[in-house]
Amino acid sequence: MKYRFKVEATVNNGNKIILGSYPSYTLARKRLNEAVEQNLYEAIRLIDLEKKRLY
C-alpha cells in the first residue's frame, strides 16, 4: 500500500518532524488532530504548573 499523505510538524527550534505517513487523507488528518490535541493539553499543563509556582 502506498502512503500518499505525510504528516509533518515544525517544532519551536525550526526542525521538522514526521509524525507518520498514511494512505488516506482522513487517517492523516486524524493523526494531525491527535498531535495538536496532545500539544494543547501539554501546554495547558505547563501553564498550570507555572501559575502554581508563581502563587
Rg of the chain, C-alpha, whole Å: 15
pTM for the full predicted model: 0.61
Position 9 scores a pLDDT of 80
Contact between residue 17 and residue 9 where contact means Cβ atoms under 8 Å apart: yes
Average pLDDT for consecutive 10-residue bins of the chain (55 residues)?
A: 80 82 90 86 86 80
Position 1 scores a pLDDT of 62
Cα gap 22→5, rounded to integer Å: 5
Q: Can you state the percent helix, strand and coil of the chain, rounding each to 5?
A: 55, 25, 20
